[in-house]
Amino acid sequence: MKLENLKPAKGATHNSKRVGRGQGSGKGGTATRGTKGAQARAGYEHKVGFEGGQMPIQRRLPKFGFKNPTRVEYKAVNVAAIQALSEKLGLKEFDFDTFVSAGLVSKGDLVKVLGNGEITAAVEVKANAFSKSAVAKIEAAGGKTSVIE
C-alpha cells in the first residue's frame, strides 16, 4: 500500500451535481433551485432553526422543567473502592489528590464517600461529604473521616 494508491471505498463518494450547465444536462434553467423567491437567489441564508415558514420546533414545543442554579453535585466514591485502593497501593491516607490520581474523580469535582461495600483497613479519609453509613464503616474499621471545605 502506498500513499498514491489510496482511494475511498467503493460507493463512499458521489459525483457532484453540475447544475446550471444548459438544458441538455437536465439541470439547466433554474439550476434545481425552483422558481423565484429568496432561495432561488444568490446570497440566500436562513436563520438557524428556520423551517421554511413552518412554526419551528423550538416554538412548537412547550417549555418545561427547572434547572436549580444552586445545585451541588458530588462524585460518589464507595468505601469498597477505598478498601481496594488501600490493598492495591498500601495507602493509609486518602484525600482529593489521591482520588484524582486513582482516576475515581476529575479535578473540578466534589467528592462524597458512600457506604457501599465493606472496609477493613484503618484509613484516614478526607472528602467534601460523607454518608452516615460510610462514616460508621470507616470508624468501625479504626479509621478517621474529615470534611474538607
In this structure, what C-alpha cell is assigned to residue 57?
A: 420546533
From 6, 104, 17, 142, select the one nearest 127 (Cα to Cα): 104
Specify the DSSP class assigned to residue 47: P
Residue 106 has pLDDT above 90, yes or no: yes
Please indicate, yes or no, if residue 132 is contained in any of the structural domains: yes
Integer-rounded Cα Rg, in Å, for the chain is 31
For residue 14, is it within any domain?
no
Three-state secondary structure string covering 60-115: HCCCCCCCCCCCCCEEEEEHHHHHHHHHHHCCCEECHHHHHHCCCCCCCCEEEEEC
Please state the domain count of the chain. Answer: 1
Q: Give the CATH number of the domain where residue 133 resides.
A: 3.100.10.10
In a domain, 92, yes or no: yes
pTM of the model: 0.59
Q: What is the pLDDT of residues 124-141, one digit of tens each?
A: 999 999 999 999 999 999
Q: Is residue 23 part of a domain?
A: no
